Chains A and B, each alone.
Chain A
Amino acid sequence: MTECSTLLASVLAGESSRWTCREVSSDTVLLVTSHHYADGDTVELMVQTVGDEVIVSDGGEVLARLDSVGVNVDSRSRVGKSWKRLMAAHALEDDRGQLVRRASVEHTADLVQEMADAVANLDGLRLLAPVPRHPAFPERLTTYLEAEFPFVEPRAKLTGVSGSPYQVTAAAGSSEKQPVYVQTASGQNNAAQRSAVERCFTMFSDVNGRLPTERKLVVLDDEATPEWRPEMINLLSGVAYVGTWTARDQWTEFVWGSVPESRLMLPAEQPTLG
């Protein structure tokens, strides 16, 4: 049978050996605790003493950790709501992203322990984040552009001659001067494809005059739907250059500024009217 006194002595000895502390400024120390996040990283806390008050902070770690895996706690999603509940349950303040608790100096030890528990709990929200899926085509295209071009503005804004505002998938190019506006079109069936094409046509027609054709590109998703109807491509080529995902090498050069003779930059197997 486990003997409590032996067990406790062992646990407490291990516990005390794990804590370290160093001064980082005249009124603040950095504590490395014995607590851990789910990935094994150790909870570090900043402890500041101002007069009779002690301020314990996570140093911005939790939000940084969540942000780096794409978890947005400001959202109205389940994660965002859970974040607010956990913040309230642990009596935490949000000081410009740093999680903070304050108390009088005599409560420092309790505050440190409670804070270490709290930040590990909040970090666990990563477990509730939506399971990453195959990204939607516009996201995938944007990631590709971000790997290839020095300038990329996701969800770039355009205004048509009519005054209508539009949001394109991205603007991209060698610099922010005269980027190419890139719009994706995808659809699992004929009706969805037609709708996507009509949206592109309307937008790029409306910005005609304000934007030369050489700065407008439609990229068709030919992975989800290998073939697009020739008349749809023909319609689009009246107002923009047209490429496909699988033939992206062709339009990548176009976005770099190498304008081809034909507005169609398609794989050989894609039928066209021409």
Chain B
Amino acid sequence: MPYVSLSGALARIPSGRRRSLINPGGLGQQERVGCRVRSDNDLAALILGETAGLELRVPMRWETRATTVRAQMGVHNAHSLPLLLGVQVLIPKPWKLTAYLMIYGQHLRRLDVNGSHGNRTGDREVWNERTHKHTFSEQDQDTVAYTPGDIPTIPTENVVGEHYRGAFEAFCGEQAIKLTGEYRWIDPVLPTRQEGTG
């Protein structure tokens, strides 16, 4: 991902308006939030923090994309930020699931089940077809991953909807996204190659 300033839009507008992006309701609530967003790290911390009140309130909305089946839903949050929660399965590789929490086109967290990755810093850990999760920071963008502790496995053969559900809902749990309201899991339907994907 390129370096894109998530908080750039905040920085470019006057402080009065800046408040309103985080808290369109006015200054009072921002003071209750108790956080001034000056950087991408601040914004990420705000979204991933305890006060964000993240909730997935709507059912899974799957759609067939070019090479994936994807569901992407808005996430209710206390700051009314345009947060998106996505989950996609590669049609040619049904054992590979990706789930992400995104704002302004930047993944703040991304889970790659059975994905391959190498950290370029620190211990230079390598994942070969092994579940890992990307973090985000201004310094490293989304290049640093770790092994999440509680994501159920997805087998490389005979994958069924419950496998996807387990991984997705565990990701939501890790991100403190409560599953509320009208949320309900719906299994994705992967088209066969003969049916076409595009």
Interface positions of A (Cβ within 8 A of B): 18, 20, 22, 24, 30, 32, 36, 38-42, 44, 46, 57, 59-61, 63-64, 67-70, 96-98, 126-129, 131-135, 139-140, 143-150, 174, 223, 245-246, 248
Asked whether B2 lies within 8 Å of A127 as measured between CB atoms, the reply is: yes
B151 at the interface (CB under 8 A from A): no
B68 within 8 A of A: yes
User: Which of B74, B86, B143 gathers the greatest number of chain A CB atoms within 10 Å?
Assistant: B74
**Contact surface of B with A, Cβ cutoff 8 Å:** 1-2, 4-6, 8-10, 13, 17, 20-21, 24-26, 57-59, 65-68, 70, 73-77, 80, 82-84, 86, 88, 90-93, 98, 100, 102, 104-107, 112, 115-120, 126-129, 134, 141-145, 156, 182, 193, 196-198
B57 and A42 contacting across the interface, CB-CB below 8 Å: no
- In angstroms, how far is the closest chain A Cβ from the Cβ of B193? 8
Is A67 a contact partner of B4 (Cβ separation < 8 A)?
no
Which of B1, B77, B80, B198 touches A39 (beta carbons < 8 Å)? B1
A41 and B112 contact, Cβ closer than 8 Å, known pairs A67-B66, A147-B57: yes
Is A39 within 8 A of B134, CB to CB?
yes
Contact status of A246 and B100, CB under 8 A, knowing A42-B116, A64-B90, A132-B6: no
Q: List 16 A-B contacts (CB under 8 A).
A: A40-B120, A42-B118, A60-B66, A60-B93, A67-B65, A96-B196, A96-B198, A127-B2, A132-B104, A134-B9, A143-B74, A143-B82, A143-B83, A147-B57, A147-B77, A149-B58
Contact at B93–A59, with CB atoms within 8 Å?
A: yes
If over half of B's interface residues share one DSSP class (helix, strand or loop), that class is named, otherwise mixed; here it is loop
Question: How many Å lie between the Cα of A126 and that of B3 in the bound state?
Answer: 10
Task: Please give the distance in Å from A118's CB to the nearest CB on chain B.
Answer: 16
Complex contact A223–B57 (CB within 8 A): no
Q: How far is the CB of A26 from chain B (nearest CB, A)?
A: 13
A97-B107 contact given A126-B2, A147-B74, CB 8 Å threshold: no
| Complex Cα gap A30–B92 (Å) | 11
Given A131-B8, A132-B104, A223-B17, A97 contacting B128 (CB threshold 8 A)? no
Do A144 and B74 form a contact, CB below 8 Å, given A39-B143, A42-B117, A68-B100?
yes
Identity of the chain A residue whose Cβ is nearest the Cβ of B104 in the assembled complex: A132
Contact indicator A97/B76 (Cβ below 8 Å): no
- A36 and B68: CB pair below 8 A? no
Contact B4 A132 (CB under 8 A): yes
| Residues of chain B within 8 A of A131, CB atoms compared | 2, 4-5, 8
How many inter-chain contacts with C-beta < 8 Å in the A-B complex? 159
Name the CB-closest residue of A to B13. A134
- Shortest CB distance A270–B (Å): 13
**A143 to chain B: which residues have CB within 8 Å?**
74, 82-84
Most chain B beta-carbon neighbours within 10 Å: one of A38, A42, A128, A248: A42
Q: How far is the CA of A20 from the CA of B128 in the complex (A)?
A: 8
Contact across chains for B82 and A150 when beta carbons are under 8 A apart = no
Please tell me if the beta carbons of B105 and A70 are within 8 angstroms of each other in the complex.
Answer: yes
In the complex, the answer to whether B134 meets A46 with C-beta atoms within 8 Å is: no
Which residue from chain A places its CB closest to the CB of B142 in the assembled complex?
Answer: A39
A40-B118 contact in complex given A132-B105, A148-B74, C-beta closer than 8 Å: yes
Residues of A within 8 A of B82 (CB): 135, 139-140, 143-144
Contact: B25 with A246, CB < 8 Å? yes
- B67 touching A64, Cβ below 8 Å: yes
For A30, A41, A127, A129, which residue has the most chain B Cβ atoms within 10 angstroms? A41
